[in-house]
Structure formats: structure tokens, C-alpha cells
A and B are shown apart, each in its own frame.
Chain A
Amino acid sequence: MINYKIMKHIKYIYFSVLLAALTFVSCESFLEEEIVDAISVDYIYSSPQGLEVGVNALYNRMRLYNVPSGDNSNLQANVFFMAATDLGFHRTWFTPYSPSAHTPSRYPSDKWNNAYRIIDKASAIITSARSIPMDETAKNKLVAQARVIRGELYLDLISAYGTILLDTIPTTPQNINDPVVYAAATTEAVFGVINADLDFAVQHLDWQVPTGRYAQGVARHLRGKAAMWQSDWEEAAGQFDAVVNNGTHGLVELSQVFGADVNHREALFVYQKDQTLGDGDALAGGGGFWLGSAFTQRLYEKQSGTDPVAGGEVIISNEYGGQGLGWFFPNNYLKSLYDRVNDKRFSTYYWPEDYREYMVNNPAHPRFGQPITQPEDNYRRFHWSLKKYADFQTKLPNTNDSYKDYMYYRFAETLLLASEAHHNLGNNDLALRYINMVRRRGYGLDPNAAAPAVDFTVWTQDTYLEESARELAFENNRWFLLKRLGVLGERVSLHYRNGDNTTSEAADAANSQTPWQPQFVNVPVPQSQIDIMGDAGSQFNIGY
């Protein structure tokens, strides 16, 4: 019966099947996936051009690591090391060393995460370069840049966290599931990698390179720093001397150090920014950096002297740093270190301490052009502020975004570190010569001409720490220097202050006494890392 029916209607069935057959589509090629808006990873790791774009991207990621845009934990992670030292005074934003925030779960995880991300990509480039057929010299130059970055990052990690993980094998989809034993790396093993990477970089990098690129000078500077952590004074002094003697780098005029263009001979390495080439961390130009605002008072909020019609005496304008935040300030201890009259750094690296040096800039105000009246008792509106990162070129007055190039290592630090290294080798003449070069320049004198009025004649750790403070305050070295010398806790407890809006410094009942804990010499490894390591996590964050 059924068969009969089907036979009867066979033509329709043929028709249906034919139609269906026509509309069937071949499956296998259809299911192949194509990516339309990104390039394959293989390209980076298998061709000379790929190697080069891979290295370029490492610079972009390093800029995110050290010069992030916006107001976020990544900026906090950077500001912490600049400001939470014996020279800093905290007003607001986040509270360094706070018992509820300086913990594995709350302390910014950005430095840790970003460093390991870049290390892994640098390792991938270093490893894959071996099998890329190309000119050896060109290849070594590219690999040297990846290696200086990896060495620099491991040096950052071990000096900040104390106990870290060491992994130079690039992660791939194939090896991610291999069994992992989370073991804290020995100091020797970490420095083994750092030394080897930086030695390779020193060997292959040129002294003279286009702006923005790693050169031999910065590689030697870093290699010397690493040697200092290993108390290898000989090695350190050798590297620093090479930088001093080469002549590529030298001290510039004081006003030039943080001047309009920081790509000068004193700079060892400068992160490049340019808003017009793309605004954002992921783009070529980089994002707006808030560092300058974070350290600048908000004078334009001053209420004293307000005219009922014209308003306040000070309006937001570039000459006073534009919009400010005033989150961290230099403290009174740092101020006490300066000869405020003769040491030109006091007026060059900082905004005026005396309110009478600021002029009323509101054109509608009757006192326009005259010195401002005494500001009220409020640190947010008026406090002695750092000017090193002020940006008079690219920062629009009503924003916090700065697109100025950012000098990360400079020759003055090389000289100071060299001074310490030579002192430790018993070579005090050279130690004094180097420290006095920095000091004389600070006083507006010729660095190379003896200046008995200001020159140190005796090298002590205190004079060294004080001179380093005067020259390098709020740059990225102080916290590490104090830690390396074993005086971080002592000095932070003595001088670092948490405060608030008011001039009664350190009146904050909760924070006036920085509750320094011995474990704070190492910043905490992120809880997310500890959680994933399970029981092995107990090797890290000792004391937290």
C-alpha cells in the first residue's frame, strides 16, 4: 500500500530530492574558519619582518607597563614605587602600606601580570629567532632588544617581590597543560637569566640609536644595577664607567633635564608618546598619562582672595600645570635636604614653595598679575609640589592627560650608582668625583670643575642617599635603592607620611603612623597568582 503510493508519486519525490541536492553545500571547506581582522601568530615567529614587528610590539607593551594611561590600578602600581618612599607624602587616592590595602588581594596586580606577559612574548621572540634565516647582525640586534626587556623585567620583579617565578620557555597552546611545579626561583637562577640577557644586549646593541630604542647605554646601566643587587661592585663599576667614558651620554643643563624634549643625551631610555599617532595604550601614540597631575596641587581651587564678581584668583591654566590632582607630594624631610637658595634643583624640579611666587592669573580679577593672597589651610589646593612631570606642551589645561615623552632612565642615576659602586670598591676618589658631578650640576655649576663650596669631600651612605634624593626624588629608583641598602622600613617609618587635605600634616588618625610591617620590603604577589598555585603558594608572600 505504502509502496504503491510512493511509486505513484515518484516524480514528485525525484523533484524534491533534486531540489534538496541542489541546495546542499559542501561542508568541510565551509567549516574552515577564517579570521578577517588579525594576523596569524606564525608570522611573528617565522620571518625577519615578523621578528621586527614582534619587537616593536614589545616596546608598546613596555610603555603600558611603565607609562599607562588613565587613572587605574596600573598607574597606582607605578606611583607606589615613585612616591611611597622616605621622600613622599600621601594625601589621598590610595593609601600605601594601609593594613587593609597593602595585601595580596588589594595591592595592584598590574606590575606582576604585565611583566610576565611581556617576558613570555620576549622569550617567544628570543627562542623563535634562532630558526629564522636572516642576517646575523640584524637578528642579534632585534634579539638583544627582546633580551634587554626580559632582563629588565626580571630585575624589576625580583627587586619588588623578592620571591618570584622564573620561566623562560614560551607558553604555547601545546605546553600550557604540561604539569607545573610552582617553585620559587632561587636568586642565583633569576640573576643568571638577568645577567645573561643583559650581557647579550650589551654585546649587540649600538650606542647610537633612534629615539625610543634600547641602546647599549641603557643595557649597561641595567646590567650595572643588576650587579649592584648581587654586590658585584666590580662588574657594576665596569658597566657604569663604560657609560660614563663612552661619551654618548652626559649631564645636560638643569633646565633641560625635564624640559620640553627629554630625548637628550642625559636620557638613557625614553618612552615615546605622540597623541597624533593614535591615542591609547594599544595604539602607536600611547594614552594620556596622569603622572604629572597626580603630583601637582590644585591651586585653581584656592578660595582665599575670591572676588564676589570675578571669582577666584587662580584659574586653570597651563602655566600652573593645568588640571591637577595633588594625590602625592614631596614631604618636609625632602624639603629639608635642599639648600633652597643655591641648589637650583629646588626651583627647577618643584613648583614654588612660597605662595607669593604665584601670580593672580584670572584676568577678570582686580588683583590680576599681582602675587596671590595666602592660600587657606588645605593641602589639596596648595602644597609644595613636584614639577618634574609637568607638561607644558601636550597637556590641555582641563585634562589630566599628558602625551609628553617619558624619560625612564637617565645618566645622573648612572653617575650616582657608579659612585656607590666605586665607594664599595674602596675607590673613594672616583666615588666622590661622580657624586659631585651630579651635585655641581644641581647648583648650576660646571659638573667637571671642582666646586669646593658645594663638593662633598667624604663619602658616606647618608650623603649618598641625600644627594640621590635631591637629584632623583620621585623617579623610579628610590624605593629599590632603599630596599637594596636594607634601610627601606627604617626610612619609610621615619619620614613617609599619610595625610589628607589639611596642613596639619599626618593628622590622619588612622594613618599618621605608617604602620610599617617587616613583610612590606616585598610587595605582595597577587592573590590570583597565589590562588592558582594552591599549596605551592605558601612559598610566596612570606609574612603577608
Chain B
Amino acid sequence: MKKNIQKNAVLKLTLVLLMCICYTSAWAQSRTITGTVIDDQKVPLVGASVLIAGTSLSTTTDLDGNYSIQAETGQTLMFSFVSMETVSVVIGNQTTINATLNGTKILDEVVVVGYGTKKKSDIINSVVSVSAKDLTKVATSDIGEMLRGKAAGVQVTLASGAPGGSSTIRIRGQRSITGGNDPIVIADGVRIGSINDINANDIESLEVLKDAAAQSIYGARASNGVILITTKRGKEGKTSVTYNGFSGIQTINRNFDIYSGEEFAQLKREAFRTNNGGAYRPDEQIFSALELESVQTGNYIDWEDLIIRTGETQNHAVNISSGNDKFSIFSSLNYINTKGVIPNSDYNKVGLRLNADQKINKWLKIGLNTSFQFYDTNNPNNGGVLLNAITTSPLGKVYNDDGSLRWLPGGFEENKNPLIDLNETTNLIEQRNDILNLFLDITPFKGFKYRLNASRRSWNYKRRSYNTARSLAGISNNGQGSGAIQFQDNVEWQLENIFTYNFNIKEKNHFAITAVQSISETEANSFTNNADRLPNDILGIGGLEGAFLNTPDISGTKRGIVSGVGRIEYDYNSKYYFTISGRTDGSTVFGRNNKWAFFPAANLGWNVYKEKFLENVNEINNLKLRFSYGSVGNEGISPGQSQSYADQRDYIIGDIRVSGYIPGPQLPNPDLKWETSTTFNAAIDLGLFNDRITSTVEFYNTRTKDLLVAQALDQSSGYASRLSNIGEIENQGIEVTVNSDLIRTDDFRLKLGVSFTKNNNKIISLYGKDADGDGREDNDVANRWFIGRSIGVFYQYQPIGIFQQGEDIVNSAQPLAQPGDVKLRDVNGDNLINDQDRVITSQAPDWYGTLSIGTEYKGFDMSADFYTVQGVTRNNTFLYGYTEGGSLRGIKNGIKQDYWTPENPGGNFPRPNEGNDPSNIFTMGLQDASYIRLQNITMGYTLPRNLLDKFGLNNLRIYVTGSNLFTITDYQSFSPERSPNEYPEPVTIVTGLQLGF
């Protein structure tokens, strides 16, 4: 046994050395305090936090509830544990301090809010905390995906499921049209570009700020919500090392069929038949020789089988933390590797973090947060591959007789061999992302703190794509290669001066004053060179000097923002709360006279449960009412839109290139100003039966004024659109979260959580004009904006069936239609189909919600999360588009539909037509994209203490996780949130290991 320990010690030492060569820490001499932490049932608490007040030094209890920490006499030890009351003990002469933590008080948990932290019971804003544990249980490299369903009011949809892909996050609906809807992500007080600029395993806590009062402190870019991430920091005491890793496989699910070889051949016959006056033509006239061979022998091509593979994913993270009373450090290394379901698509990411804190003296402290991430992504032609897997005709031959890939498998250029480009194209993207953040804290006397926070963030992007001479593009170019190279560099710096002062008057009156001044600037520069017709492939894109044609493109933008913020918080005896704040922001992107704006906010909170009349109601341990009202601004538009500038449009005169400049189709707007969102938020927090049931219900109403929109202009003006501030829209909604510890015994725990979010989005006002005099404000039909409807709507004809033989078509609203054509709804009944018959259909979901279940039995744990979105409509181009194989012409394969023929009058899709797309088939795309998904299911086992001791370990858990195992939806695609040609979120099954020592 001893040998075992030594062996492990060597292993551990090696790991430590490997992971943190740069580690330096001076071990100070201070007293060791040990003890045990137990709960009111006398059960040892595992992982309870032991913190020396006023420092960042802390440790956690082991599996027996024991801890050991270096501390000095006179310091205060704070013992805390999730859902327990915090206990403080001042250190005297003793070397052993035991603590008993009572009850299940969620209220004492500490939550990070704007520029500070607060106990949950003191929070009167709309803030949701998501635990790091809940995040990392989803096996993905995308933190957005991890966040999905974890917080009411936060809607996450897939932006790209490709390896290294990301998500779109919307907090409380879409409130801006062009002003941007992405929340800002603040990591350790520094705005970062994307939520994925952080490693998931580095996250200590993640908070989402939803109401205006919470956001007001982050103002300018916070109008769409704020995601606050705090990364882990070094803690005083024993060095701790944890490892978390998983690896597994990925596939994709689809809920549609494509035409089989036989079915496709029949579709083609039907399409030709329609064009031939209803008579079938002989196969020889329809099919090429290659196709005919397939039809006759029954050897069809299964492109999906040839193209899609099983992907692989692995993720390894090692965290090391240590520290003493003067210095602490946290470092981490993260490696992610994913090989996608499309051959050649892969993603590699290495993330490094180093957070350090140095106390210089009693009143001065400096800290450093650094993060470096290196990614490389390979995604040659991803979209095209999935498209081709669906749409390439199954007739013909994949290979030439010599075994090489056949360019045109069926002999027609509409169906080129999709396997060629899998082998012959590359698209390599290398990115580097670094964050450097230095802060200096001055705390001259109790309650006062000044922080200077300086940061620089940079993002470096390199793309090299190349199509060889043998690629499809190369074949078109007479056997010459082509490609592009792009270098982009974005740099953002930020400087903040933060003053906070907390004081009490007569014990019960607590005040906190915050003042912040901040300035930041972002600069982006991009250079792209497209190279066409390279004579050979020897150097790939590296040989672009030899290209017949090189086309450079250069672009750059610069934007900046300056802000000043003030906030006064007051509470009386932690019972009545009042906060008022104001901020003023100036942004470069607005018109000369409209750069500055002021945004105020106020909150009220009432801890009702602390009132006398509830004191004796034991069932209720928390009841809080909160109200907030405030404004924030949105400046999320691209730079330069308030200024008139001209695009370069050169020409050739007398065979010589001449320079030309002309304004583009977008008219500038020198009066551009801030878009302002004002939110009223009312909420009730409830804790019942000692927090066995906790619930939060929030109601909100956000009015967004001076919307920044690309307003379509009258084309005869010579311009297509202009960015304008117009009108007002409303987002109103309700969010309900209920969590319960249904069963809690020594051995068995069952937890159930439900969240529900309903958001209503509608346009209140546009231009305030009533030109038609009907007493209602006019809609803007050209832009598809209708008063009282949501921002995103479809406005098009509505198909109501298929014309049948024998039907009185001549006297219908479509007198020229043929049997088998799409029948449209004549909305106004004037027996004409024209622009008056277009129908409005909303795109936004009615509601979305989650159900999560968690159980623990002895060392086993299991959790499952279901996620649903209801009432969404999407336009599926694969139901009608030619390129997407939806137009029933027998040229491209596509998603299988029940099409009409004289023999199949019940078909709900129009009659195939070889010559052209069937009339009005473009109206057939709207499809219900609601879905229910088993987002995540995890089963794990944690090794018991006695076994862990044998190996000298702190923690060892093995687990199996399945993500996106099934989705129930009517939307015909790989994912209800993506078109069938877009990379869907994969079905992932992984096994993982968590290790701590």
C-alpha cells in the first residue's frame, strides 16, 4: 500500500511539474488550523469551503469533512457550503476549529453581480446563477450549448454545430433589429468577445443579469443582458490538482428521408411526364447511359453513406491551484479535439490560464488574469457536403473504371461528385485569442476600495483555403488551383477606475456607493487575398504569387466607448432595499451630435420573510419581492454608418484600368443615436420547507425605443436602405423556475427542476404615420414590420392544398393553374391572388422550457435534462428550392415528399415538373420547428472514500454522458434549428473521468 502511494506521489509530482513550470510560490510561516465541518445531522460535509475572511485564501473539506488551513490569530474563518448557512469563527489560540453548518439556506450563497458580490438574500436584481458543475456535465466544447436550458429567460440556439461551433444566446427575446442582440460576456471584469473565449473548466461561477437595473452598471453594451463569468483563483492551503476529461463519439440524426434510387428515378419519370402532356417517355429519353445502368441494375448510390462518418471528440482539463497568505495562483490547461461527422472536419483547441494574486501590503494588492487560447479548425466545404449528400442524384457511378472519382456520376453537370471536394479542398483556420488583465486594489480603510482594472484582449485569425487542380473548382478552371488567404487581427483594450465604499449608519442602515469610469477601444484589421487559377498545386495557397489573378481585399474598423457610472445601494436591516444608479455613455458609432446618452435605473426589494408576521410560519423560509425599473443603451451597429463614404468601383477605359468611386446602396444617417431599452421587472422569490422547494417567478416588460434598423428605402430614391432610429417595440414575458429536493435521505436524493419562459415580442410603433387615415398607425410592409406583431414575421401566400382534376379551376382565383399545382388561399375572397392575399406568420417561439431530473444513490448519480421550444416557424428551403432539391424537377435529389400525380390525388406537394419549378412551390416552405429534446443524460459513479484513500486521491468519478440523444420535431432537417445543409448539433456519447488529489 505504501508503495502504491509513493508511486502515485511520483505521478502527481510529474503532473504538477508538467502543468505549471512557471509556478513559484513562497510558503510563509503561519499556523496550521485543522478541524471537521459537519451538518446539523452530524454528517461530515464534503467540499465545504473554508475561507479566511478578507483574503482570497481558502480550502475545502475532504471526504471526511476535514480541512487544514494556514492562518493567523485574529483572522476569521468562514465556513460555507452550498445551501447551508455560513458560520464565522475568529481564530484564537486553538489549532482545531470544528464547525456545524445549519439548515439549507440558499440565501447565504454568494452571487457575483455588477462590480461586486452579494449574498443571495441581498439580491434585488434579476440574476440567475448557473453552477460550474451543471455547465461541464454537457459534453461539448461550446459553453453556449452548456448554458442551454440552465436559466429561465435565456434562449440558446445553435449557430453552428461544426466542430468548434458556437451558439446564439438571447436573453429575454429579441429586442433589437439591427442593433445586435448578443449579450455581453464579462470575464473577471473584462469584456470578452465570445463566451467560448473561456475554458469551461476554468469557470468558478456564471451569472446571467437579466433586468435593466442589473445591467445598468454595464450599460452601453448590456442592453441584451450580461453574462458574468468568474474564473477560478488560487486558494491558500494545500495545492490541489483536478483533472476532468471525456472522450466519445459523435453522429447526427435526421428526421427526414430522401428519395431512394428507385423513388428518384420515378420522380424523374413523373417530372418528364408532366412536360410531355401527361404521357410517360421511354427511359432512354430521360436517363443518360450511366443513369440508365443504375436504373436497370438497381445499383444506386448512397451518398450519405459515402460522406458521413462517425465523429470523435475528446476533452481534457487539468486545474492546479495553490497559495499562501501573500500569494495565490491558479493555472489550467485544456485540450479539446473533435473530429466531425464530415470527413476532414476537425477542431483542436488548447487553452491556458494563469490567475495570480499578490498582496503587497495591508492596503495594496495586485492581480493578474491571463488566458491564451489556440484553435485550429479544418472545415473544407462543410455546408456544401451536407447539401450534396442530400441533393446529389443517386443514379450513376461514383468511380471511373480506373478507380478514380468520376466528375459527373450521372453524366449531368447538375450532379457533380461530392466526394471529389472532400479530398481536394482544404480550409484551415488558425486562431489565437489572448486576454491580459491586470488589476490593482487599494483598500486604505474598511469599506473603501479603489480598483484600477486594465485589460487588453486580442484575437488573431488566419485562414488558408485551397482548391486543388483536381477539385471541382479546379476542373472548372481548366485544371488550375484556386484559394484564399486571410489575416485578421482584432485588438480591444479597456481601462476602468472603480471606487466602492461600503458603510453603515447606526448598525442597521447599510450603504454601498460605487463609481466607475471606463474607456475602451476596439480595432479590427483584415486582409484577404483571393488567388485564382494557380498553375500547379505544389505549394497550395502558399504559391499564390503564381496565380493568374490575385484579388486583394483590405478592410478595417475602429470603435470606442467612454462611460461614467454611479450607484448608491441602501438597505435597512437586510429587510428593505433600495438602489439607484445612473450612467452616461459615449460611443464613436453615432452621429456627431448624438454620441452621448444617460441611462438611469432603480430597484426596490423587500425580504418579506423577515417580517414579524412570517416569523412563525415555518413552512416559508424565504419570501422576497423585488421590483426594478431602468434603461440601458444599445450601440451594436457597425462603425461608419453615420458618415457618407464611397465604395471603390473601377472600370476600364481604352483598355486601361481607371479609378472609380461611388456611394453604395446604403444611405448614411448623420443623426444616428442610441437605441434605448427600458425594463420594468417584478419578481417573487420563494423558499419553502427549508428550501426543499425553491421558486422564482419574474415578470418583465421591456420597451425599446429609437430602434436601430436598416430601414428599406423607396428604391426610386437611389438607395436600398438606411440605418435609422425608429419606433418602439415591446418584449413582455414571464419566467418561472421551480427546483425541488423531492427526496433526501442518507443514501438517496431525487431532485426535480422545471423552468418555463414565455416572451411576447411586438412592435408598438414605427413612424407614427397614418397615411391611409384608418385611425391605426401604418405598417411598414416593405420591411415586413406590422404594428402589434413580432419583429420577425413571414409575409407570404399561404398554400391550402393542391388543385385536383375535375376541379373548377377556371373560375378559381388561379384560373391558369393546372391540376397538381399549389392552391393558394384567397384571403380577401376577391377571386384574385395578389399582394392583398399575403399572410403574416410569426417566427418567434411561443415558449420554451426545461425539465431536469437528478438522482443520487450512494456513489451513483444520474441526471437528465429535457429541453423544449414550442411555436416556432421556420422557412425550410429544402421543401421548395431548386438548389436544395426541393423543387420536384427530377434533377436533384431532395427530402422525400408525397407529391401529387393523377394517380396519387392525395399528394400534398405539387406535381413534379421537369421544365421548371412547379408554380407557387416557393410558398411551401413554412414548417413548424417546435421540438422536444433530451439534451443531456449523465450517469456517474464516485469511488467511496476508503478506496480513494488507497490511491491517495481526493476524488474520482467516472461517468457516461449522452447529448442530444433524441429530438422530437416536425421540422425536416438534421436539427430543428438549422437548415439541412448546415452542420447540426451532433449526437454525442462520451465517457469521462474526474480526478482530484
Do A59 and B660 have beta carbons less than 8 Å apart? yes
| Distance, CA A92 to CA B647, complexed state (A) | 36
Q: For A43, what are the chain B residues with a Cβ–Cβ distance below 8 Å?
A: 646, 661
Query: Which residue of chain B has the shortest Cβ distance to A325 in the bound complex?
Result: B413
Q: Which residues of B contact A224 (CB under 8 A)?
A: none
Whether A212 and B646, one on each chain, are in contact in the complex, defined by CB atoms closer than 8 angstroms, is: no
Please name all residues of chain A whose beta carbon is closer than 8 Å to the beta carbon of B914 when the two chains form the complex.
92, 500-501
Residue B495 at the chain A interface, CB threshold 8 Å = yes
Q: Are B665 and A117 in contact (CB under 8 A)?
A: yes
B782 and A532 contacting across the interface, CB-CB below 8 Å: yes
**In the complex, residue of chain B having the shortest beta-carbon distance to the beta carbon of A42:** B644
Given the known inter-chain contacts A16-B499, A44-B662, A511-B915, please indicate yes or no for A31 contacting B651, CB distance below 8 A.
Answer: no
Nearest residue in B to A211 (C-beta to C-beta)? B654
| A5 with B651: CB separation less than 8 A | no
* CB-based contact B532/A279 at 8 Å: yes
CB–CB B835/A507 < 8 A: no
Closest to B287 in A: A303
Interface assignment of B920: CB less than 8 Å from any CB of chain A: yes
Contacts of B595 in A (CB 8 A): 31
A38 CB, min distance to chain B CBs, angstroms: 4
Q: Which of A95, A117, A210 contacts B654 (CB 8 A)?
A: A210
**Which of B363, B644, B916 is within 8 Å of A92, CB to CB?**
B916
Contacts of B827 in A (CB 8 A): none
Q: Does B716 contact A (CB under 8 A)?
A: yes
In the assembled complex, how far is the CB of residue B787 from the closest CB belonging to chain A, in whole angstroms?
14
Contacting residues, chain B, for A24 (C-beta < 8 A): 497, 517, 519
Q: Are A502 and B276 in contact (CB under 8 A)?
A: yes
Chain B residues contacting A56 (CB-CB under 8 Å) are: 649-651, 653, 658-660
Contact B643 A278 (CB under 8 A): no
Q: Is A33 positioned at the interface, with any CB of B under 8 Å from its CB?
A: yes
Q: Which residues in A have their C-beta under 8 angstroms from that of B818?
A: 509-510
User: A5 near B495 (CB under 8 angstroms)?
Assistant: no
8 Å CB interface, B507-552 against A:
517, 519, 521, 532, 548-549, 551
Flag whether B618 is at the interface (Cβ < 8 A): no
Q: Which residues of A contact B440 (CB under 8 A)?
A: 19
- A470 to B919: give the CA distance in the assembly, Å: 34
- A173 contact set on B, CB distance < 8 A: 644, 667-671, 722
| B645 part of interface (Cβ distance < 8 Å) | yes
Query: Is A39's CB under 8 angstroms from B646's CB?
Result: yes
Among A167, A272, A526, contact of B653 (Cβ-Cβ < 8 Å):
A272
Does residue A337 face the partner (Cβ distance < 8 Å to B)? no
Task: Say whether B903 faces chain A, with CB atoms less than 8 Å apart.
Answer: no
Q: Does B277 contact A (CB under 8 A)?
A: yes
Q: A171-B719, A176-B667, A378-B285 are in contact. Are A30 and B562 (CB under 8 A)?
A: yes
Q: Does A528 contact B (CB under 8 A)?
A: yes
B277, A301: Cβ atoms closer than 8 Å = no
Residue pair A279, B549 in contact (C-beta under 8 Å): yes
Distance in Å: Cβ of B562 to nearest Cβ of chain A: 5
Tell whether, in the assembled complex, residue A272 and residue B652 are in contact, meaning their CB atoms are under 8 Å apart.
yes
Q: A507's contact among B276, B497, B519, B558, by CB below 8 Å, is which? A: B276
Q: Are B654 and A33 in contact (CB under 8 A)?
A: no
Partner of A508 from the list B275, B587, B639 (CB cut-off 8 Å) is B275
Contact residues in B for A13 (Cβ distance below 8 Å): 444, 448
Cβ-defined contact, A5 with B781, below 8 A: no
Query: Which A residues, 260 to 290, have Cβ-Cβ distances below 8 Å to chain B?
Result: 272-280, 282-286
- In Å, the complex CA distance between A280 and B658 comes to 15
Q: Is residue A229 within 8 Å, beta carbon to beta carbon, of the partner chain?
A: no
Contact call B915/A91, Cβ cutoff below 8 A: yes
A9 CB contacts on chain B under 8 angstroms: 444-445, 448
- Is A529 at the interface (CB under 8 A from chain B)? yes
**Mask of A178-199 contacts with B, CB within 8 angstroms, 1/0:** 0010100000000000000000
CB-CB contacts of A80-103 with B at 8 A, as 1s and 0s?
000000000001111100111101
A387 on the B face (CB < 8 A):
no
- What's the interface size class on A, roughly? 35 or more
A279 contact from B475, B551, B586, B719, Cβ within 8 A: B551
Chain B residues 482 to 523 lying within 8 A of chain A, measured CB to CB, are 495, 497, 499, 503, 517, 519, 521
What 0/1 readout, one digit per residue, does chain B (44-68) give for beta carbons within 8 Å of chain A?
0000000000000000000000000
Do A284 and B667 touch across chains, with their CB atoms under 8 A apart?
A: no
Residues of A within 8 A of B655 (CB): 210-211, 272, 274
Check if B913 is an interface residue, CB within 8 A of chain A. Answer: yes
Which B residues, 630 to 682, have Cβ-Cβ distances below 8 Å to chain A? 639-640, 642-655, 657-663, 665, 667-671
List A contacts of B722 (CB < 8 A): 173, 176
Let me know if B411 is at the binding interface, CB within 8 A: yes
List residues of chain B with CB within 8 A of the CB of A341.
none
A502 and B715 contact, CB distance less than 8 A: no
Tell me if A104 is interfacial: C-beta within 8 Å of chain B. yes
Is B452 part of the contact surface with A, judged by Cβ < 8 Å?
Answer: yes
**In the assembled complex, B589 has its CB within 8 A of some CB on chain A:** yes
Q: Is the CB of B649 within 8 A of A40?
A: no
Instruction: Decide if B940 is an interface residue (CB 8 Å cutoff).
Output: no
* A44→B476 CA distance, assembly (Å): 40
Chain B residues in 8 Å Cβ range of A58: 660, 662
Chain B residues with CB under 8 Å of A507's CB are 275-277
Q: Which residues of A contact B555 (CB under 8 A)?
A: 37
Residues of A within 8 A of B519 (CB): 24-25, 27, 30
Chain A neighbourhood of B103, CB < 8 A? none
A445 within 8 Å of B (CB atoms): no
Closest Cβ of chain A to B741, distance in Å, is 44
Cβ-defined contact, B919 with A39, below 8 A:
no
Interface positions of B from 865 to 908, Cβ below 8 Å from A: none
Contact A12 B445 (CB under 8 A): yes
Asked whether B714 lies within 8 Å of A532 as measured between CB atoms, the reply is yes
CB under 8 Å from chain A, chain B span 419-444: 440, 442, 444
A25-B562, A301-B288 as given contacts; A38 in contact with B640, CB under 8 Å: yes
Question: A33-B639, A211-B655, A284-B652 in contact; A544/B662 too (CB < 8 A)?
Answer: no
Chain B residues in 8 Å Cβ range of A213: 653-654
Does A374 belong to the interface (CB within 8 Å)? no
Does A523 sit within 8 A of B, measured CB to CB?
Answer: no
The reply to whether B413 and A323 contact each other, CB–CB distance below 8 Å, is yes
Which of A42, A280, A398 is in CB contact (< 8 Å) with B551? A280
Given known contacts A56-B651, A117-B719, A544-B834, A35 and B289 CB-to-CB distance under 8 angstroms: no
Cα–Cα distance between A120 and B715 once the two chains are bound (Å):
10
Whether the pair A31, B913 counts as a contact (CB closer than 8 A) is no
**Interface-centre pick from B412, B450, B475, B669 (highest chain A CB count, 10 A):** B450
Chain B residues with CB below 8 A from A61, complex form: 649, 662
A376 in contact (CB, < 8 A) = yes
Q: A92 to B272, alpha carbons, bound, how many Å?
A: 13
Does B274 make an interface contact (CB < 8 A)? yes
Check A37–B554 contact: CB distance below 8 A. yes
A40 to B797 Cα, complex, angstroms: 43
A180: which B residues are within 8 A, CB to CB? Answer: 714
Please, which residues of chain A bring their CB within 8 A of the CB of B548?
276
Chain B 303-339, CB-CB to A under 8 Å as 1, else 0, gives: 0000000000000000000000000000000000000
Within 8 Å by CB of B919, from A274, A510, A526, lies A510
Contact B276 A60 (CB under 8 A): no
A77 partner residues in chain B, CB cutoff 8 A: none
Write out the residue numbers on chain A whose beta carbons fall within 8 Å of the beta carbon of B284: 376
Task: Specify which of B285, B670, B719 is in contact with A120 (CB 8 Å cutoff).
Answer: B719
Digit string of A366-405 for contact with B (CB within 8 Å is 1, else 0)? Answer: 0000000000111000000000000000001111000000
What are 15 A-to-B residue pairs whose CB atoms are below 8 Å? A6-B445, A12-B442, A32-B588, A33-B558, A57-B660, A95-B916, A116-B717, A117-B665, A173-B722, A212-B654, A279-B549, A282-B648, A284-B652, A396-B478, A528-B712
Q: Which 7 A-B pairs rank lowest in CB-CB distance, beginning with the nearest?
A: A120-B718, A12-B444, A210-B654, A57-B660, A57-B662, A56-B660, A284-B650
In the complex, given contacts A60-B662, A95-B916, what are 19 additional A-B residue pairs having Cβ atoms less than 8 angstroms apart?
A: A27-B586, A31-B595, A36-B556, A38-B640, A41-B645, A53-B658, A54-B661, A93-B916, A100-B920, A105-B835, A116-B716, A173-B722, A211-B655, A277-B652, A398-B477, A499-B915, A500-B272, A502-B285, A532-B712
